[in-house]
Amino acid sequence: MKISFPYMGTSHIVAGYLLENLGHEVIHPPVPSKKTLSLGVQHAPEFACLPFKIVLGTYLEVVEMGAEVLITSGGCGPCRAGYYGEMHKRILHDLGYPVEMIVIEPPLVEPFDFFKKLHRLVKPKGYINLVRVLRVAWAKMQALDDLEKTLHKLRPLVFAKKQLNRIYDEGLEAIRRADSVKEVAVARKDALEAMHSLPADHHYKPLRIGLIGEIYVVLEPFANFDIERILGEMGAYVHRSIFLTNWIRDNVLAHGEKDIRAAAVPFLNEMVGGHGQNSVGEVVRYAAKNFDGVIQLAPFTCIPEIVAKSIMPAASKARGIPVMTLYLDEQTGQGGIETRLEAFLDLLRQKRRKQEAS
Amino acid sequence: MRVGIPRTLSFFTLYPLWKPFFEGLGVDVVVSPESNKALLDEGVRETVNDACVPIKLFHGHVAALKNKVDILFMPRLVSLDGKHTLCPKFLGLPDMVRCSISGLPEIIDFRLDLKKGKLELYRFLYRVGQRFTASRAKIIRAIWLARHNFSRYRKLLLQGLTPQEAFNCLDTGYEPQPEKNMSSIRLAVLGYPYSLYDNYISVGLLEKLKSYGVNVVTPEMVPERELKRMSKNLPKNLFWYYSNRVVWSCMYFLQKQNVDGVIHVTAFGCGPDAMTNKLVELETKYNPRKIPFLTVTIDEHTGEVGVATRVEAFVDLIRRKKGMV
Amino acid sequence: MRGYLGIDVGSVSTNLVVIDDDCNVLIDVYLRTRGQPIQVVQEGMRQVEEAIKGKNIEICGVGTTGSARILTGVIVGADTVKNEITAHAVAASHMVPDVQTVLEIGGQDSKIILLRDGIVVDFAMNTVCAAGTGSFLDHQAARLNIPIEQFGELALESKSPVRIAGRCSVFAESDMVHKQQMGHPVQDIIAGLCDALVRNYLNNVGKGKEILPPVVFQGGVAANVGIRAAFERALGLEVFVPEYFHVMGAIGAALLAKSAIRGKGRTQFRGFAVSDMEYKATSFECNGCPNLCEIVNISVNGEVLARWGGRCGKWETLQKTG
């Protein structure tokens, strides 16, 4: 059976490696493009969110490429994303694609179902192989996150910003090719060294921006117009609240993130699904860490982020940190996003100058 | 002491529980006026843009009550059936309202989460009761009154009364016989109670259909055990209380009641309905009888004319299909 | 005399101004963009050149703003390229030093900017369609067969504005036709349209913003006295419309150019000859890697002037070597 999966940020490198080395034929999903989005928009309900539409577009692309089985994550609500696997399956069947959908539910909620599905995927090459493959995959994931964190840190400081992007992209490719924990370590070290070797102004104090919001639009550059790059090239340091490794640690292996949610309690005293409560908590945390500002990314019609957004002004005011919400959907234009980001950075610079003067 | 209850969202489901309860505690219950333009405008002004109309309307109802009562009652409804939660906007509602509207009186926003067990409802009511009286006996009596009234209400709904008719019946004892037009067509009108039964926001849809001589059935008329049976049809159910009831009752009406058509009333920007609407659409499409299906989207700008045109055309289409014209 | 040129190229209009060292506006030019930013900038440059002829003004700095700011900046050789939110805020606080709220409504977009003690503390731009912008009014004026210039005056004559609903201009139009059929006088309908626009603006762009006086209203729509009156009714505050309300973005760009020059000394202005050169903007998708960046390519007289849009810089660096 030919297997494929959704595309989100750098996760495809790990997912592709895992499935291939468990002994499956993998159809690698293409980088989401305008074509992906328009395919998704055409067949998705109008008020489904942007991640739903992009992922549906990706599915339509991979089934055309021959995928027979799609693997995705499930969830138990109340965010809609937990139902997307089921919904996507129905839409694909309705369009006449007889794909099979394997929806992996969170192991802590449905342990039996999880291991049943896991067993099916692991069977071809056995469990000893699984241990090896998982170790490499985890190493890859950590290396990818390290590269990305370094990229965020160096971008505002390095003079040749485009060259930095290139080295980073090459680093991703090297990590993708690596086939053992050792090779991953070498690829990681080479890429980090190359990034650090670029001439940079280490005395420059960039604006520090926290990036929060719904996981897909935060992690997938196509969905957010590569906002980290835009901000970095404008000279700001972006701290992203979500990385794959910490997300998996907190949501799949254990119920984590309690401190973030506790920080949100004065403003939002309930889990509202998705990253809604986290978003509010992160604002409080960024304010405590003296960040200059926070940008919230939300898919248009995203329920948890709408709840968060309506609470944001109160949290922003109480903690004295500017927050800007950007809604993303298929209508959003790059120009409008860039204008808002530029103006937001101007606002933060003026604020910092005023604070320094007083 | 006056307690204010907004006349929207869970009002059409739970008001007959709250009202006798508070009255039993010796507290006056003040309900916001029926939805109207001014109230909606106020809500639209206060609420975050991207919220759906029902949430905006709720803010309007709260604003209308805030100067008339000592306490606002808007419990944080997390789960009403012990299995599924309500829409995330319900979960965050008390916080949203606090951050959006200024000058609010005291708010009672205890969590009601029946996932904690069936007795949680009584514990919840007891907690609320303690805010008003120290007398244990008084609270228990109020709970008993509430329970009694509430189960009568549920029975009336199953008989086909609308919530408003049932409220009147509970107050006055007068029980109108739902008129049945045997020769006519039967339509399932699906949607959330706060959209279906709020005449302003639904632009009088139910009345209009009845005036066309259509027999209307709604999710509130389906017995619990039937809903439960239907819930087994889906490999994975939705996460939200009201949405599940829409999907399950849709399957019930299609399988057991031979409805001639399905209308789904959904609010502009409703998150769960992006899923619900598609599920309902596919249910009707893959029904062997190919049931006609219409989506009516309502929002703060909905014109009565636009909805009437669509609904009228839909009814005509079904009449034609049945060879009635 | 030293002059500073500010250019604001928006989707609907293109404005150019020249200010002097004391920030007086010497020349202002207002043109329709008509979807051809390059040609309209060239035309504007021609008009500015014409206007300063014999006045002994030397252009010592150039700033661009608006949605085509980068493109325009490359063409004219700008010293500063700024987004229109900052440009509008700079211009407003220059004209009214203690301004706390700027309402700006242009052809296809609208914004609100909050300032406290002279610095921008919050802003918002419209996210939904045209129902809160100038093109909404243009459209309805055409529909009613009334010149847009008379729109505001007529609105002021109304005693009881009718209520016109509509999230978007198409629905508003059908509601307006409905009200016409009911026999409402045209003045009341126009005043109702003004109220609808202001309501949409305040509920969308102005949502949750603390609007404090002094309030400055600028952008093309500020010419409309009916809208200004509707704002004053809705806010209960006096609304101030500056003299050069329609070219505030360009004034802001010129002011920013003036301060940029103070920092770096010499202008990069390419001179008025740019109006006679042949510019071409093209774009293509780079297939070098899976990122599929869209590269914008600007050439003058067949020679590549600038490229941007790439992630890795491979196209951008070509510009320097070749």
Which chain B residues are closer than 8 Å to C167 by Cβ? 299-301
Same domain? For A243 and A355 the reply is yes
In a domain, B290, yes or no: yes
Average pLDDT over residues C214-233: 92
ipTM of the complex: 0.89
Q: Residue A297 maps to which CATH number?
A: 3.40.50.11900
Which chain B residues are closer than 8 Å to A82 by Cβ? 239
**What DSSP element (H or E) covers C142?**
helix C134-144
Q: Which residue of A has its CA nearest to B46?
A: A310
The pLDDT score that the predictor gives to residue C275 is: 83
User: A171, A202, A233: which is the final residue of a domain?
Assistant: A202
Is C312 near chain A, with CB under 8 Å?
yes
Q: Residue A40 maps to which CATH number?
A: 3.40.50
pLDDT band at A253; cut points 50, 70, 90 = low
User: B116, B139, B172: which is the final residue of a domain?
Assistant: B172
User: B116, B147, B172: which is the final residue of a domain?
Assistant: B172
Same domain? For A220 and A351 the reply is yes
Same domain? For B32 and B157 the reply is yes
The overall average pLDDT reported for chain B is 91
pLDDT band at A199; cut points 50, 70, 90 = very high
Counting as contact any 3 or more CB pairs under 8 A, the partners of B are: A, C
The pLDDT score that the predictor gives to residue B179 is: 67
Answer whether residue C196 shows pLDDT above 90: no
Question: Which C positions 179-208 lie with beta carbon below 8 A of chain A?
Answer: 208
The pLDDT score that the predictor gives to residue C254 is: 95
Residues spanned by the domain of B258: 186-321
Name beta bridge partners: A200: A158
Please state the domain extents for chain C: 2-90+249-276, 97-241, 279-321
Residues B231-255: tens digit of each pLDDT: 999 889 999 999 999 999 999 999 9
Q: Which letter, b or e, does each residue of B163-189 get, where b requires 16 or more Cβ atoms within 10 Å of its Cβ?
A: bebbbbbbeeeeeeeeeeeeebbbbbb
Same domain? For B97 and B158 the reply is yes
Same domain? For B201 and B80 the reply is no
Q: Where are the beta strands (DSSP E) in C162-226?
A: 215-218
Q: Say which amino acid occupies B68.
A: K
Which chain A residues are closer than 8 Å to B100 by Cβ? 310
Average pLDDT over residues A73-98: 90
Same domain? For B154 and B36 the reply is yes
- Name which of B47, B58, B95 to mutate to probe chain A: the one with the most chain A Cβ atoms within 10 A of its Cβ: B95
Residues B96-144: tens digit of each pLDDT: 999 999 999 999 999 999 999 989 999 999 999 999 999 999 999 999 9
Least confident of A333-347, B32-46, B200-214, C161-175: C161-175
Inter-chain residue contact C125 with A339, CB threshold 8 Å: yes
In a domain, B177, yes or no: no
Same domain? For B142 and B243 the reply is no
The long-range contacts involving A121-126, CB below 8 angstroms and separated by at least 24 positions, are: A121/A19, A121/A22, A121/A24, A121/A71, A122/A22, A124/A22, A124/A23, A124/A24, A125/A21, A125/A22, A125/A23
pLDDT above 70 covers a percentage of chain C that reads: 94
CA B226 centroid distance within chain:
19
Say which of B49, B300, B305 has its CB closest to residue C207. B49
The pLDDT score that the predictor gives to residue A77 is: 74
pLDDT band at C241; cut points 50, 70, 90 = very high
Q: Residue B215 maps to which CATH number?
A: 3.40.50.11900
Which chain A residues are closer than 8 Å to C67 by Cβ? 335, 339
CA angle A297, A298, A299 (to 5 degrees): 135
Same domain? For A100 and A225 the reply is no
- Name which of A7, A12, A58, A162 to mutate to probe chain C: the one with the most chain C Cβ atoms within 10 A of its Cβ: A162
Which chain A residues are closer than 8 Å to B274 by Cβ? 45-49, 52, 80, 301
Q: Which is nearest to B307 in space by CA: B264, B244, B260, B257? A: B264
In a domain, B179, yes or no: no
Say which of C167, C178, C204 has its CB closest to residue B301. C167
CA angle A128, A134, A136 (to 5 degrees): 110
Residue found under tokens 């806010």: C235
Residues spanned by the domain of A178: 132-154+157-202
Cα B151 from Cα C277, distance rounded (Å): 83
Question: Which A positions 63-92 lie with beta carbon below 8 A of chain B?
Answer: 74, 76-80, 82-83, 86-87, 90-91
The residue count of chain C comes to 322
Name beta bridge partners: A69: A3, A100
User: A175, A202, A229: which is the final residue of a domain?
Assistant: A202
Average pLDDT over residues A324-345: 88
Residues C102-125: tens digit of each pLDDT: 999 987 778 999 998 888 888 888
Same domain? For A210 and A358 the reply is yes
Q: Which is nearest to A210 in space by CA: A300, A311, A307, A312? A: A312
**Coil, strand or helix: which one is C218?**
strand
Counting as contact any 3 or more CB pairs under 8 A, the partners of A are: B, C
Residues A143-179: tens digit of each pLDDT: 999 999 999 999 999 999 999 999 999 999 999 999 9
Same domain? For B68 and B168 the reply is yes
**Coil, strand or helix: which one is A72?**
strand
Q: Give the closest-approach CA distance of B301 to chain C in angstroms.
A: 6
Give the number of beta-carbon pairs within 8 Å between B and C. 22
In a domain, B181, yes or no: no
Q: State how many domains chain A has.
A: 3
Cα C169 from Cα C126, distance rounded (Å): 14
Is A313 near chain B, with CB under 8 Å?
yes
Q: Which residue of C has its CA nearest to B100?
A: C208
Residues C250-277: tens digit of each pLDDT: 999 999 999 898 877 788 998 888 888 8
Is B301 near chain C, with CB under 8 Å?
yes
Same domain? For A139 and A212 the reply is no
Residues A22-55: tens digit of each pLDDT: 999 999 999 999 899 999 999 999 889 999 999 9
List for chain B the helix, strand, coil content (%; round to 5).
Answer: 50, 15, 35
The pLDDT score that the predictor gives to residue B310 is: 83
The pLDDT score that the predictor gives to residue A143 is: 96
**Coil, strand or helix: which one is A353?**
helix
Average pLDDT over residues A243-247: 87
The pLDDT score that the predictor gives to residue C163 is: 78
Average pLDDT over residues B78-107: 93
Same domain? For A147 and A39 the reply is no
Say which of A165, A347, A354 has its CB closest to residue C311. A165
In a domain, B15, yes or no: yes
Least confident of A61-70, A254-263, B31-40: A254-263
Q: Residue B13 maps to which CATH number?
A: 3.40.50.11890
Same domain? For A164 and A309 the reply is no
Which chain B residues are closer than 8 Å to C202 by Cβ? 45
The pLDDT score that the predictor gives to residue A330 is: 82
In a domain, B267, yes or no: yes
Q: Which fold has domain C2-90+249-276?
A: Nucleotidyltransferase; domain 5 (3.30.420)
Q: Assess contact for A108 and A115: CB atoms under 8 A.
A: no
Same domain? For A237 and A345 the reply is yes
Say which of B89, B238, B275 has its CB closest to residue A307. B89
Q: Where are the beta strands (DSSP E) in A168-322?
A: 207-213, 236-240, 293-299
Same domain? For A244 and A349 the reply is yes
The pLDDT score that the predictor gives to residue B110 is: 95
The pLDDT score that the predictor gives to residue C322 is: 34
Same domain? For B45 and B110 the reply is yes
Answer whether residue C170 shows pLDDT above 90: no
- Name which of C125, C167, C201 to mutate to probe chain B: the one with the most chain B Cβ atoms within 10 A of its Cβ: C167
| Shared fold status for C2-90+249-276 and C97-241 | yes
Average pLDDT over residues B275-293: 92
The pLDDT score that the predictor gives to residue B190 is: 97
Same domain? For A147 and A211 the reply is no
User: B107, B137, B172: which is the final residue of a domain?
Assistant: B172
Answer whether residue C320 shows pLDDT above 50: no
Which tops the pLDDT comparison, C291 or C51?
Answer: C51
Inter-chain residue contact A340 with C86, CB threshold 8 Å: no
**What DSSP element (H or E) covers C63?**
strand C58-65
Q: Give the closest-approach CA distance of A312 to chain B in angstroms.
A: 8
CATH number of C97-241: 3.30.420.40
Q: Give the closest-approach CA distance of A343 to chain B in angstroms.
A: 21
Q: Residue C70 is encoded by which pair of tokens? A: 């980068």
Cα A58 from Cα A52, distance rounded (Å): 10
Q: State how many domains chain B has.
A: 2
Same domain? For B143 and B197 the reply is no
Same domain? For B143 and B57 the reply is yes
Average pLDDT over residues B57-84: 95
Same domain? For B162 and B253 the reply is no
